[in-house]
Structure 1
Amino acid sequence: MDDYPLLNLFWTMMWFFLWILWLFLLFRVVADIFRSPDLGGWGKAGWLVLVILLPYLGVLVYLIARGGKMGEHDFASAQKRDQAFKEYVRDAAGTSGPAPAGGGADQLAKLADLKRSGDLSQEEYDRAKARVLG
């Protein structure tokens, strides 16, 4: 341990952290290349060849050229997931069967929470409420 000072240990840890960080960035760029709807097959192949043959330069050029598109793709993907979740909640709340005995108040409370959070519109809330009460 005498031949490896503490400062060298910190230096080694920093380089290891940067290498792992670069690997994550490389995988994120490759994933974005594959899921880009605005790139054709040849465009995806070209970017992939550049990123694989010249990894550091390829990732840097990709981030400069298409970094903004990466954010747009992430945002669009998050919106799709959010919309799918909201549709699932609406379907689950709107298609529930008749309320079990004694469970109507609990279902009404859940519906009120969904309406308050904005996952149900007034019309959907009224329909679901009528199902629970009727």
Structure 2
Amino acid sequence: MSFWENFWDIFWWFFFVYAFVAFLWLLFAVIGDLFRDDKLSGWRKALWILFLAFVPFLGLLVYLIARGKGMAERSMDRARAHREASDAYIRSVATTSLSEEITKATALRDSGTISADEFERIKSKALV
């Protein structure tokens, strides 16, 4: 065998492996989208799954043509909801406001946990 025959065999092998992995990724993305879609009834989901199981290439193509735009919109909505949830969490655990810090320091001073000098230092730090 010559080098070039070997090279093209390897090239085609890598191409088919890549195509197979891409097919599997797309199949799992479509199945994930099917199960995340709240507007689609259970029976329709079952029909799509059967269609994907028995005629996978045609099923993926038809799904992407028929529901591809909605698939992208649902993905964007899901990403937006995740971002809003993480932003809300970050805001909830972020530093407290100035008045809350001064109120906490006042309570600590009144209970005798900190001295008046420490209270003034916390208050000046909060106001800066």
Query: Where does 1:1-134 land on structure 2 (aligned, <5 Å)?
Result: 5-93=6-94, 128-134=97-103
Q: Residues 3-25 of structure 1: CA distance to partner in whole angstroms, max 9, x if unpaired?
A: 96111111111111111111100
Amino acid paired to 1:128: S
Using the alignment, how far apart are the partners of 2:19 and 2:46 within structure 1? Answer: 27
Question: Between the two proteins, what is the percent identity of the paired residues?
Answer: 34
- Greater helix content: 2
Show structure 2 runs of 5+ residues with no match.
Answer: 104-128
Does 1 or 2 have the higher relative contact order (CA < 8 Å, sep 6+)?
1
SS in 1 for 2:97: helix
Per the normalisation by structure 1, the TM-score is 0.69
SS in 2 for 1:131: helix
SS in 2 for 1:5: helix
Q: Specify the structure having the higher radius of gyration (Cα).
A: 2
- How many residue pairs match? The answer is 102
Using the alignment, how far apart are the partners of 1:42 and 1:129 within structure 2? Answer: 55
Amino acid paired to 2:86: F
Per the normalisation by structure 2, the TM-score is 0.72
Which 4+ runs in 1 deviate beyond 6 A? none
Using the alignment, how far apart are the partners of 2:73 and 2:100 within structure 1? Answer: 40
